A = this chain, B = another copy of it.
Amino acid sequence: MEVTGHMPAQDAPRTRSASIWDVARVAGVSQQTVSRVINGKARVSETTRARVLQVIAELGYRPNRLAQALAGGPVRSVTVLTSDTALYGAAATLRGMEEAARTAGFSVGISVLERDSGQADIALRLNRPGEAVMVIAFDDAGVRALRALPADVPVTAAVERRPDDGPDDPWQIWLDDRAAAAHATRYLLSLGHQTVHYVAIPSSTSALPQRTQGWQDALRAAGRPLPEPLPGGWSPRSGYLAVRSLLADRSVTAILCGNDDLALGVMRAAREAGRDIPGDLSVVGFDDSPPSAYLNPALTTVRLDFEGLGRACFGLLNRRLDPQNAAAVPAWSEPELIVRESSGPAPA
C-alpha cells in the first residue's frame, strides 16, 4: 500500500509513515524546502511555509531523527553510561542529566555498566562512532568505562574525585566530597566525641576515596587518633556487617558513613548491640537520600546535589559539542550538612 494512492485504503495499515518527500509532493514543493521549513534555518516565503506546515499537520509527518543525524544534522542525542542505578547517587545524577538533556531537545540513551563487565564492548554500545556520551563514574566500573572510551567520542563525566595527577580534566565535574567529609567530622568532634570512626564506600580508583581522605584530614588537623577506616560496600547489609563487632566497644561514640545506606545498616547494628542513638552513639550519613529524613531516628547526613551535578554535566557536554552558542553550564549546590536526630553530644 503506497502513500501515493489517491484512494485511501480503509484501515489498511500504512506500510510506513510519511517522509519528507511525501510532504513535499503534497505541498507541491521540493523536499529541500520542506527541510528548510522544519529547521527554520534558511528563509522561506510566508505563503510556502504556511502551506508546508499545514501539509505536515495533515499527514502527521514527524522527522526521522535517525536520518537527520545520518545526514549530518546537528547532534541531538546522548548516551549515558552509568553503573548500578539502584544506588541513590547514580540514580539522582541520571535524573539530572536526563532532565537537562530532554529540556535541551536531546534524546537520551542509557546503558548500565555491570560491575564486572569488560571494557572491550563499551564502544559497541554507542549508536554510532562519535556519539556524545556522559559517564557517571562514581565507582570502579564507571571509571573503567570512561577510560575505555575511544578518543573520538565527545564525553563529559560526573566523577568521584578530581584527578590526582596532572591538570584537571575540563570535561569532568565532581562534588567536593573531601571537604564535606571533613566538615561532618569536625561537626562530630565539636560535639565532644574523642574521635570519629568511618565506614567507607568502595573507591572508584586505587587511591583513597575522597570521603575517607576528608575524614582523615579533619582528624589529623584536630590531632585525634585516626582509626582504620572500616571497609564497607554500598548496601545497608555491608554497613551492618562492618560495624557489628566494633559496637561492643563503648568508647566508639561517633560513626561517619560513606553513604546513607551504610548508615542504615550501622543503625540497625547499634540497635541490636543495645546502643542508643544519639544518646550513646552518633551516626552521620552521606548523600541525604530520600528516606533519611524519616528514619528512626532521622539521619544526620551530608546533602549532595546529584541532580544539579547531572544537569551541569550535560551543560558541559553541550558546550563541548557546540562551543559557539551553548548556554552557560548551570551551577550546582555545594555539599551541606543536614543535622537531624541521629547525632548528638558525646556521652559523659
Contacts and interface: CB of A to CB of B under 8 A. Distances in A.
Given A107-B127, A109-B109, A124-B62, A265 B236 contact: no
A22 to B, nearest CB: 11
A291 B86 contact: no
B294 A66 contact: no
A29 to B, nearest CB: 21
Nearest to A268: B294
A160 interface: no
A128 B296 contact: no
A17 B236 contact: no
A170 to B, nearest CB: 17
A98 to B, nearest CB: 6
Given A110-B109, A124-B62, A295-B295, A129 B16 contact: yes
Contact of A64 (B99, B129, B271): B129
A159 to B, nearest CB: 22
Given A109-B109, A294-B236, A130 B261 contact: no
A125 interface: yes
Nearest to A110: B110
Contacts of A297: 296
Given A102-B111, A107-B111, A290-B261, A127 B236 contact: no
A67 interface: yes
A108 B109 contact: yes
A240 B152 CA distance: 51
A7 B8 CA distance: 58
A271 B91 CA distance: 30
A79 to B, nearest CB: 8
Interface string A118-156: 000001111111100000000000000000001010000
A171 B34 CA distance: 36
A62 B126 contact: yes
Contact of A86 (B14, B95, B130): B95
A85 interface: yes
Nearest to A95: B85
B62 A129 contact: yes
Given A60-B150, A296-B296, A98 B112 contact: yes
A275 to B, nearest CB: 12
Q: What 8 A-B pairs are tightest by C-beta distance, nearest first?
A: A17-B129, A64-B128, A236-B294, A264-B294, A296-B296, A65-B127, A66-B66, A109-B109
Given A85-B91, A264-B294, 9 more contacts: A66-B70, A70-B70, A86-B92, A95-B112, A98-B111, A98-B112, A109-B110, A236-B291, A296-B297
